[in-house]
Structure 1
Amino acid sequence: MTKTACVTGGNGYIASALIKMLLEKGYAVKTTVRNPDDMEKNSHFKGLQELGPLSVFRADLDEEGSFDDAIAGCDYAFLVAAPVNLMAEDPEVHNKPVTTNLRCHIPSHIRDGTDRSSHRPGGTACPRCSWRRRRPGSRAEHGISLVTVCPVITAGAAPATRVRTSVIDSLSLLSGDEKGLAVLKGIERTSGAVQLVHVDDLCRAELFVAEEAAAAGRYLCSGLNTTVVELARFLSRKYPQYNVKTDFTDDDQLLEKPRVVLSSAKLAREGFEFRYTTLDEIYDDVVEYGKALGILPY
């Protein structure tokens, strides 16, 4: 039987890629957006609907119960939309927002309104589930389990026609975007490396832990650890037309090699394999995507 998945925030970058993957794998998909009539943000849904059954619902994280129709009858729910503070006043201390992806296994017999969303305005909670009431991986109520996939800077092409944060950041050395570059530098200074993952690997990881019955808790999802200096040298060689800055001698806080490696060993132990593990592979299609979005000049 066809399984059904709900993906919140379907006009977002990661969500749109996840929807595409689910449809290609034979899932029926329900997605939510705040305004289904906003075709500037939702134009990619038409192409996705050609891949398989995709229904679009209106829902808002600030409105309790607004996700009920989208969640009803679903086997899995992926919480990809979350309220985040995207900008800091000082770009040097700008913290990259983390997208939280939750999987909720909802048995098909739960279709009534008794298990309503416990979302509180301004917080991050999964429809019909709550981190406040239940530990990650708990199956104590209605057989629902929660799993978190924590992504790093995510690159790669996706169906979404508008993006913020990670794609802009990953292309900042090519585009000259100082705020995006400040994000990369800030991540390196605070974590000891710049961590990257291809959006395809991220979506595969999300689906992997959703379908894996034994999956529980939090999973880091990072395909590669690098540095600003390494990344700049790679991009300068691969895309010489962009005149990428490679001399960072004026910034003695930047590293030649990663000082700390963010490990995805937990995913690997359970059988997940990354397909994109080099800078060349991770940046294979994001430059063309950046051109299409107007982030990079043709």
Structure 2
Amino acid sequence: MRSCVKAGTVKRVVLTSSTAAVSSRPLEGNGNVLGEDSWSDVDYLTAKRTGLWAYPVSKVLIERAATEFAAENGVSLVTLCPSVTVGEAPDRQVYTTVPAILSLLSGDEEELSVLKGIERASGSVPLVHVEDVCRADIFAAETAADGRYIVNGLDTTIADMARFLADKYPQYNVDTNNLSGDVLEKPIALLPSTKLEKEGFEFKYKMLEKLYENMVEYGKELGILTN
């Protein structure tokens, strides 16, 4: 951002953060709706130091530093907070969330524990397709007003994902019987993208079937899933 100020020709900066900077906080009861004014609780996370605590802390600190710098230097800043990203990447490397998203199909218990950690931290499994994230980046640069925007296509749960995948891909023998008590049946927190949609953005992927489209073939190419 210092380089942007120095150049003097940059009209807008788009920072891609994460909903991890929004939802990692103590949640009370059901029906929590977390909007752009919600922040993950850094004090709580650093005190607990459990699970993936450092990731949301880093996202909060980066966002706040960028916002402060933008305000002090007159920079137009738009911050996007995408949720857990699914979909194919251009290259064929294993990225952080892909094995976790496919863990119900692969049977990888270690990666499933990562997915469970996401659900515990977020109060749901919030998903967005990488194509929608890319489109939102362009929208933010060209159309959106300043500020923070949640980019989330769907709030679901591991239980719902397991039922969907068991029905859609019976060949992988997804176990739907041993999840009760260990995962959420329904989301206890929602991350709506109302602000983004009100400004004219339209998601292409808002259903599990669309979000998982091509993911199985992608998982096979990465060696995560068997043929």
Partner residue, 1:219 = 149
> Which of residues 154, 160, 179 is equivalent to 1:230?
160
Deviation at 1:230, TM superposition (A): 0.5
TM-fit CA distance, 1:132: 6.5
Aligned counterpart in structure 1 of residue 191 of structure 2, from 245, 259, 262: 262
- Name the CA shift for 1:72/1:182 in 2 (closer, same or farther; >3 Å): farther
**What does 1:1-298 correspond to in 2, within 5 Å?**
93-95=51-53, 97=55, 124=62, 131=66, 133-135=68-70, 138=71, 141=73, 144-212=75-143, 214-249=144-179, 251-298=180-227
Aligned sequence identity (%): 48
Return the alpha-carbon distance in structure 1 between the equivalents of residues 16 and 149 of structure 2: 15
Larger Rg: 1
Give 3-state SS (helix, strand or coil) of 1:268's partner: helix
After TM superposition, the score normalised by the length of structure 1 is: 0.55
Shift of 1:295: 1.6
1:164 positional shift: 2.0
CA distance in 2, matches of 1:242, 1:269: 39
Are the aligned partners of 1:220 and 1:263 in contact in 2 as well (CA < 8 Å)?
yes
Aligned Cα root-mean-square deviation (Å):
3.2
Give the direction of change, closer, same or farther, for the CA distance of 1:96–1:234 in structure 2 (3 Å limit): farther
Distance verdict in 2 for CA 1:230–1:289, change over 3 Å: same
Task: Tell me the secondary structure at the aligned position of residue 147 of structure 1.
Answer: strand
- Residue 229 of structure 1 contacts residue 248 of structure 1 at CA under 8 Å; is this kept in 2? no
CA distance in 1, matches of 2:96, 2:121: 18
CA distance in 2, matches of 1:252, 1:80: 34
215 and 81 in structure 1: CA distance in 2 versus 1, 3 angstrom threshold: closer
Once the two structures are TM-superposed, the CA of residue 189 in structure 1 deviates from its matched residue by 2.1
Distance in 1 between the 2:53 and 2:85 partners?
15
Deviation at 1:96, TM superposition (A): 8.9
Which structure would you say has the larger RCO, counting Cα contacts within 8 Å and 6 or more residues apart? 2
Unaligned runs of 5+ in 1: 1-63, 83-91, 102-122
In the aligned structure 2, how far is the partner of 1:94 from the partner of 1:134? 27
Partner SS for 1:131: helix
- AA aligned to 1:188 is E
Q: 1:199 Cα deviation (Å)?
A: 0.8
5+ long unaligned stretches in structure 2: 19-49
The 1:75–1:295 alpha-carbon spacing in structure 2 relative to 1, beyond 3 Å, is farther
1:36-61 Cα deviation digits (max 9, x unpaired): xxxxxxxxxxxxxxxxxxxxxxxxxx
Deviation (angstroms), 1:281:
0.4
Q: Distance in 2 between matches of 1:160 and 1:144?
A: 33
Q: Tell me, in whole angstroms, the C-alpha distance in 2 between the residues paired with 1:95 and 1:180.
A: 17
TM-score normalised by structure 2 residue count: 0.71
Q: Tell me which amino acid in the other structure corresponds to 1:222.
A: N
SS class of match (2:191): coil
Asked if the contact 1:94–1:182 (Cα under 8 Å) also holds between the matched residues in 2, the reply is: no
Does the residue aligned with 2:155 lie in a helix, a strand or coil?
Answer: strand
Mapped to 1, the partners of 2:216 and 2:182 lie a distance apart of 27
Supply the distance in 2 between the matched residues of 1:246 and 1:80 (Cα, whole angstroms): 35
